[in-house]
Amino acid sequence: MLADEVDDENQPPESGDGEPDPEEPASKPQPRSRSERRAASALAKAWWSLALIPLAGGVALVVGGVVPAVLGYDGQDLESQWWVAAVAGAAAAVVLCAPLFVTRMFVRRARSQPGARTPMIVGAAIVMTFVLLTVASVVLATRLD
């Protein structure tokens, strides 16, 4: 047995054109570290935390209706007492913004991931749209009456 024959036996099989076999991976993917897995999990949780916004919207509607009652005003008397409506609106806005604090917590944990700020931007845009539409409808309703 010659030395050239031994070397040929130890060589990996090649496809006919001199390139490595496509069935064999060129390099194995490196396992992700624990911190990378935690950051990816936090990013997924940040996206899922945006599902709390509709729930917070329902609670904000209840809060906006309960605050004037707690202050001793009914629905007809609110037109003359603008500050009651402002307090009720501010309380409802705070409740509506509450899911953004949860999203912010997960976004901070996922800051090493690409696009980690995107859930926060999307959530803030949704909440601000609801708040601005509510303020605009109140302003238009008072101007048209």
pTM: 0.69
Average pLDDT over residues 111-138: 92
Residue 10 lies in a domain: no
Residues 103 and 109: beta-carbon distance below 8 Å:
no
Q: What is the DSSP letter of 51?
A: T
Residue 23 lies in a domain: no
pLDDT tens string 63-79? 988 988 898 887 666 56
Q: Report how far residue 100's alpha carbon sits from residue 120's, in angstroms, rounded to the nearest whole number.
A: 7
How many domains does one find in the chain?
A: 1
Residue 5 lies in a domain: no
User: Could you list the residue range(s) of the whole structural domain that residue 115 is in?
Assistant: 33-144
Residue 27 lies in a domain: no
- The set of residues, in sequence order, having a beta carbon less than 8 Å from that of 126 and lying 6+ positions away, is 50, 53
